[in-house]
């Protein structure tokens, strides 16, 4: 801003406080939320609920009111549960969205400061620069090459270039230049508020994860209906009355429909998102949790992500030689030009110094203050930094002051002996280097400057010198990089910095790969296929990149099958963040544009936070497979009695009633499934590549239908038949009601006890239950304890047991039912041992780790 602009005091703090009290906060009014009752009803009329309502209606017409009531209870309880979980996830999402920084730079009490955007009031003087989200309707008082993206309001993708006195609107973004503007409308009085009122009813389309799960459940539902119809026909062929045959078909259908699956998934994702927020990683879209776990390639920035973004000027070189910064006054001349061409400042407020703006420019200002550099003069034009020119300049009293990347500045300067060698020496040390120059003769008159382009003005320069800034690596970045490599995740550094500086930092943190590939954006192949082949190696360093280069890199790597996470913080990084599978924006230092385009916002700008989020994403994927296995195993045990009845031609009675099947689905199974969805991350989760295939693959199907399900069903049917025979029953005879109830209670107990063991077996796909099988997930202990209590209630409380159709088993029945526990545990252990030997024979052995590192798991075992 010009000297006159800086002299504007804006509002005083007292004026702003009074106006805020009168106008209210600068926030959009929340849309009228759908009443909770309406949301609950919606959960009662989805695809599966309608199927069950139809079954309840048919049961009522067939003269079976108890069955109709039981099915209605299933629908209501399941709908209520889904509603609670969706409501909790939505509430958690609203809390998480509040964590996204929303600040505005203003002038108050004559000083530049940063306030929460909600505290803006009419009359505030707001300072805008590239990357800022405009937080209120503003009238422009002064502009410098300003361009505003208004696509959010107008749909026009070409940025508008408004002039002074024009209005810019809340919700739009500054994509180029700078401006000072006065607030004219806030909150509900903005143009954005009117648009928001029209869009509140819009809903996000289902995520890829939701679609995949929806396909799984729909396939199961179609199979359930088909099998139910088939068994209804079989029952009629066997001479069963239509009402009894219908009851039988309903039991088969209900046994196969996993009613509680989708709510369990929602809870698992919401819980993971909350955990990530606790680790400073804000997930903006819930489905991104699962995608994070599948990440195979991370493209990371350098400044602020791998480094601390705490810059300090440690070296200044001039054509006269290196300056001694112990005498900061010697740098007064070069620092004046550096600071005049910057906007970042170190501001004193309330007795403390506060950085405002770019950390690099704040570091320059800090040295300029120590050096006593003057900032006097009248600014007639400012040419802000952009990623194409890679420099910024300002005309003060007719003299051009400029700073920027050395390779973008040195070609514009007269020869300066020693500059190239000084640049090489600084870059080798890992310093971030800026070139500072000046055009001493008057550039043009003040009335002509705005008519000239940057190329016309930024020429015939005199190099004042090079400034080297140190930004040390974060302490735990090296460890996080090691965890990525242990997890089979490839890395690349993508930076706009000098290749020498980028290489030095990559070596310090251990990112540079064995190929030592260091390349600039200008050297990248023009063909995307060749680009992907070049970069598909671990530890590449790409320097001097443009936003277009980042977009091409993301596209090329995705074209080679990678799941790409791309970091970005600039106004022009939006396309690359959207192109990547996971766009990662900086919450502390990034622009609003980048944060809006991202799926994940790092509230601490830390690379290690990305790795933590990937770990939680992998854990979530593993948990989904855990409770899928648990649910489907129970479906096998529920279906088996009906299959045995059909295959025996009705000579073996039904071991479970339809109401018992419903009691298993909504009573005993629900809490253990939820607890498996909250299983903590396994220490081995980041060893080996992530599994990215289908949720229900051949291995899960083989384990459910070939191992766990048959083991549970075998004990169930053996106990049922044994109790019948001990009571004097013979094949084909009709057992007494009391004997049938006791045998059915035995079968029911066997399924519940088998599921109790199955809950612990599902904690790992590869490791059998050890001595500490009970440790690590206290929620599961509580869940199985409740499951055991419900078993006693369902069989031992006469009104309920009579309704369900079972009774307390005799001692022999309990002993037989208890065999389900060792049967499931033994079958699971044997299966895992066989699979382990198969993996050993096929050569899937972990590579020997580096000294001091933990041994990685075989490929594909990361989630166990």
pLDDT of residue 753: 96
Number of Cβ atoms within 10 Å of the Cβ of 475? 9
Q: How many helices (H) and strands (E) does the chain have?
A: 32, 23
Q: Which of 152-156, 490-494, 816-820 has the weakest average pLDDT?
A: 152-156
Q: Which of 161-165, 285-289, 455-459, 719-723 has the lowest mean pLDDT?
A: 285-289
3-state per-residue secondary structure call for 752-776: HHHHHHHHHHCCCCCCCCCCCCCCC
pLDDT of residue 625: 87
How many residues does this entry show for the chain? 864
Task: Give 613: exposed, middle or buried? Use CB within 10 Å, 0-12, 13-18, 19+.
Answer: buried
- For the purposes of burial, counting CB atoms within 10 Å of the CB of 121, is it exposed (0-12), middle (13-18) or buried (19 or more)? buried
Q: Which of 232-246, 681-695, 808-822 has the highest mean pLDDT?
A: 808-822
Which one, of 763, 819, 801, lies nearest residue 667 by Cα? 801
Per-residue pLDDT at 108 exceeds 70: yes
Instruction: Provide the pLDDT for residue 47.
Output: 67
Count CB atoms within 10 A of the CB of residue 709.
25
Quote the tokens at residue 496: 């706009």
What is the pLDDT at residue 44? 79
Question: Exposed, middle or buried: residue 199 (CB in 10 Å: 0-12, 13-18, 19+)?
Answer: exposed
Q: Are 552 and 287 in contact (CB under 8 A)?
A: no
Distance, CA of 276 to CA of 278 (rounded, Å): 5
Torsion of the alpha carbons at 415, 420, 423 and 429, rounded to the nearest 10: -160
Torsion over CA: 661, 662, 668, 672 (sign): positive
Residue 90 has pLDDT above 70, yes or no: no
Is the pLDDT at 6 greater than 50? The verdict is no
Among the residues of 358-490, which ranges form H helices? 359-371, 406-409, 419-428, 454-457, 477-486
The residues that are catalytic are: 301
Q: What DSSP element (H or E) covers 534?
A: helix 528-535
Name which of 82-86, 133-137, 398-402 the model is least confident about. 82-86
Within 13 A of 95's CA, how many CA atoms are on the CB side? Answer: 13
Quote the CA–CA distance of 599 and 420 in Å, as a whole number.
41
Per-residue pLDDT band for 5 (boundaries 50, 70, 90) equals very low
pLDDT tens for residues 796-839? 888 888 888 889 999 999 999 999 999 999 999 999 888 888 77
Residues 531-556 have a mean pLDDT of 91
Residue 377 has what pLDDT?
87
Model confidence at 532, in pLDDT bands (50, 70, 90)? very high
Please tell me what DSSP assigns to residue 410: G
Most confident residue range from 40-54, 496-510, 585-599: 496-510
Among 220-229, 668-677, 713-722, the range of highest mean pLDDT: 713-722
**Helices 811-818 and 737-761: angle between axes, nearest 10 degrees:** 30
Burial class (CB in 10 A: 0-12, 13-18, 19+), 35: exposed
DSSP letter string over 330-349?
GGHHHHHHHHHT---EEEEE
pLDDT on residue 334: 95
Q: What is the residue-averaged pLDDT of the chain? A: 82
Separation CA 12–CA 124 (nearest Å): 9
Q: How confident is the model at residue 721 (pLDDT cuts 50, 70, 90)?
A: very high
The pLDDT value recorded for residue 441 is: 65
Reported as type and span, the H/E element at residue 576 is helix 574-579
Q: Do β-strands 167-168 and 137-149 pair in parallel, antiparallel, or remain unpaired? A: antiparallel
pLDDT at 147: 83
Quote the tokens at residue 805: 């159709």
Using a pLDDT cut of 90, give the percent of the chain over it.
35
Helices 332-340, 359-371: crossing angle, 10 deg rounding = 140
How does residue 201 score in pLDDT terms, banded at 50, 70 and 90?
very low
pLDDT, tens digit, for every residue of 550-592?
Answer: 889 999 999 998 999 999 876 567 788 888 889 898 877 666 6
Confidence of residue 243 (pLDDT cuts 50, 70, 90): confident
Question: pLDDT at position 346, please?
Answer: 85
DSSP string, 29-52: PPP-PPPHHHHHHHTTSSHHHHHH
What are the backbone angles phi and psi of residue 282, rounded to the nearest 5°?
Answer: -95, 115
Tokens 């109709």, located at residue: 68
Residues 557 and 542: their CA atoms lie apart, in Å, by 14
Question: In this prediction, what percent of the chain has a pLDDT beyond 70?
Answer: 82
284-288, 304-308, 558-562, range with greatest mean pLDDT:
558-562
Question: What is residue 517's predicted lDDT score, i.e. its pLDDT?
Answer: 93
- How many angstroms separate the CA atoms of 339 and 726, rounded? 95
Q: Cα-flanking dihedrals φ and ψ of residue 796, to 5°?
A: -105, -15
Cβ neighbours of 264 (radius 10 Å):
27
What token pair was written down for 170? Answer: 């809340």
Question: pLDDT grade, residue 858 (50/70/90)?
Answer: very low
Residue 27 pLDDT level (bands cut at 50, 70, 90): confident
Distance of CA 394 to the CA centre of its chain: 41
What is the structure's pLDDT at 2?
39
Can you say how many angstroms the Cα of residue 800 is from the centroid of all Cα atoms in its chain? 45
Please tell me the number of Cα atoms within 13 Å of 309 on its side-chain side: 19
Which tops the pLDDT comparison, 765 or 480?
Answer: 480
pLDDT band at 140 (very low <50, low <70, confident <90, very high): very high
Per-residue pLDDT tens for 848-857? Answer: 333 333 333 3
* pLDDT range class, residue 99, cuts 50, 70, 90: very low
DSSP state of 439: E
pLDDT digits (tens, 9 = 90+) for 358-389: 788 889 999 999 999 988 888 888 888 877 78
Higher pLDDT, 289 or 522: 522
Q: How confident is the model at residue 268 (pLDDT cuts 50, 70, 90)?
A: confident
Question: What does the pLDDT read at residue 203?
Answer: 43
Could you tell me whether strands 173-185 and 125-129 are parallel, antiparallel, or unpaired per DSSP bridges?
Answer: antiparallel
Residue 743 has pLDDT above 80, yes or no: yes
Region for residue 131 given its phi and psi (left: phi exceeds 0; alpha: psi -120 to 50; beta: otherwise): left
pLDDT at 850: 35
Name the pLDDT band for 259 (thresholds 50, 70, 90): low
All residues at 6 or more sequence positions from 115 whose CB lies less than 8 Å from its CB, including other chains? 103, 104, 106, 108
CA 504 to chain centre: 31
**Rounded distance, CA 724 to CA 287, Å?**
50
Confidence of residue 86 (pLDDT cuts 50, 70, 90): low
pLDDT band (50, 70, 90) for residue 732? confident
Contact between residue 750 and residue 742 where contact means Cβ atoms under 8 Å apart: no
d(CA 644, CA 747): 13
Question: Is the overall model pTM greater than 0.85, yes or no?
Answer: no
């Amino acid at each position: 801003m010009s000297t006159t602009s800086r002299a504007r005091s804006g509002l005083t703090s007292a004026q702003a406080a009074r106006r805020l009290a009168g106008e209210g906060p600068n926030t959009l009014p929340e849309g009228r939320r759908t009443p909770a009752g309406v949301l609950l009803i919606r959960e009662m009329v989805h695809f599966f609920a309608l199927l069950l309502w139809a079954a309840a209606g048919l049961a009522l017409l067939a003269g079976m009111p108890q069955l109709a009531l039981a099915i209605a209870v299933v629908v209501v309880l399941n709908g209520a549960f889904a509603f609670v979980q969706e409501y909790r996830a939505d509430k958690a999402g609203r809390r998480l969205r509040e964590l996204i920084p929303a600040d505005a730079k203003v002038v108050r009490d004559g000083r530049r400061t940063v306030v929460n955007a909600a505290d803006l009031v009419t009359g505030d003087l707001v300072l805008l620069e590239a990357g800022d989200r405009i937080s209120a309707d503003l009238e422009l008082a002064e502009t410098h090459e300003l361009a505003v993206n208004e696509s959010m309001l107008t749909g026009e993708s070409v940025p508008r270039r408004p002039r002074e006195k024009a209005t810019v609107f809340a919700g739009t973004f500054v994509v180029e230049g700078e401006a000072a503007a006065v607030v004219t409308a806030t909150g509900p009085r903005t143009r954005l508020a009117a648009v928001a009122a029209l869009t509140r009813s819009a809903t996000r389309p289902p995520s890829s994860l939701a679609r995949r799960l929806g396909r799984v459940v729909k396939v199961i539902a179609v199979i359930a209906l088909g099998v139910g119809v088939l068994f209804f026909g079989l029952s009629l062929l066997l001479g069963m009355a239509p009402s009894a045959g219908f009851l039988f078909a309903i039991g088969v259908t209900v046994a196969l429909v996993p009613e509680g699956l989708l709510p369990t998934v929602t809870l698992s994702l919401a819980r993971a998102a909350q955990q990530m927020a606790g680790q400073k990683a804000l997930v903006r879209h819930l489905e991104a949790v699962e995608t994070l776990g599948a990440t195979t390639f991370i493209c990371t920035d350098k400044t602020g992500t791998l480094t601390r973004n705490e810059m300090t000027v440690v070296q200044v070189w001039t054509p006269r030689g290196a300056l001694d910064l112990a005498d900061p006054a010697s740098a007064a001349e070069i620092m004046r030009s550096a600071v005049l061409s910057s906007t970042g400042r170190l501001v004193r407020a309330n007795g403390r110094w506060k950085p405002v703006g770019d950390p690099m420019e704040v570091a320059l200002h800090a040295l300029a203050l120590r050096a006593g550099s003057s900032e006097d003069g009248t600014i007639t034009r400012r040419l802000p930094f952009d990623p194409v020119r890679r420099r910024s300049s300002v005309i003060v009293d007719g003299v051009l002051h400029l700073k920027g990347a050395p390779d973008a500045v040195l070609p514009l300067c007269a020869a300066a002996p020693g500059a190239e060698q000084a640049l090489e020496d600084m870059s080798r040390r890992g310093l971030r280097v800026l070139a500072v120059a000046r055009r001493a003769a008057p550039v043009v008159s003040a009335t002509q400057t705005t008519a000239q382009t940057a190329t016309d003005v930024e020429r015939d320069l005199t190099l004042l010198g090079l400034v080297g800034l140190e930004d040390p690596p974060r302490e735990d970045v090296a460890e996080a990089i090691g965890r990525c490599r242990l997890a089979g995740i490839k890395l690349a550094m993508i930076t706009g910095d000098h290749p020498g500086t980028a290489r030095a930092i990559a070596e310090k943190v251990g990112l540079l790969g064995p190929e030592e590939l260091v390349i600039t954006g200008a050297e990248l192949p023009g063909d995307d296929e060749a680009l992907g082949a070049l970069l598909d190696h671990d530890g590449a360093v790409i320097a001097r990149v443009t936003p277009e280069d980042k977009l091409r890199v993301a596209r090329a790597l995705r074209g080679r099958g990678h799941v790409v996470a791309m970091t970005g913080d600039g106004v022009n990084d939006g396309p690359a963040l959207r192109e990547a599978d996971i766009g990662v924006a900086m919450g502390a230092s990034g622009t609003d544009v980048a944060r809006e385009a991202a799926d994940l916002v790092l509230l601490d700008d830390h690379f290690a936070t990305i790795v933590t989020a990937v770990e939680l994403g992998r854990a979530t994927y593993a948990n989904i497979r855990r409770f899928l296995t648990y649910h489907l195993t129970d479906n096998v045990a529920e279906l088996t009695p009906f299959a045995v009845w059909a295959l025996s031609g009705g000579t073996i009675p039904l071991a479970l009633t339809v109401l018992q099947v419903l009691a298993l689905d909504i009573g005993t199974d629900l809490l253990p499934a939820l607890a498996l969805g909250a299983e903590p991350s396994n220490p081995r989760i980041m060893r080996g590549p992530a599994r990215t295939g289908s949720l229900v693959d051949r291995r899960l199907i083989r384990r459910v239908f070939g191992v766990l399900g048959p083991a549970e069903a075998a004990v169930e049917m053996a106990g049922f038949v044994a109790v019948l025979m001990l009571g004097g029953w013979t094949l084909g005879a009709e057992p007494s009601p009391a004997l049938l109830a006791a045998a059915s209670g035995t079968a029911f107990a066997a399924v519940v006890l088998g599921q109790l063991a199955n809950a612990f077996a599902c904690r790992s796909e590869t490791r059998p239950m050890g001595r500490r099988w009970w440790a690590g997930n206290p929620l599961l202990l509580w869940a199985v304890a409740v499951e055991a209590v419900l078993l006693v209630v369902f069989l031992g409380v006469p009104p309920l047991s009579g309704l369900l159709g079972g009774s307390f088993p005799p001692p022999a029945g309990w002993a037989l039912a208890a065999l389900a526990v060792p049967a499931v545990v033994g079958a699971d252990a044997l299966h895992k041992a066989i699979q382990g030997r198969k993996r050993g024979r096929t050569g899937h052995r972990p590579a020997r780790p580096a000294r001091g590192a933990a041994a990685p798991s075989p490929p594909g075992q990361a989630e166990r």
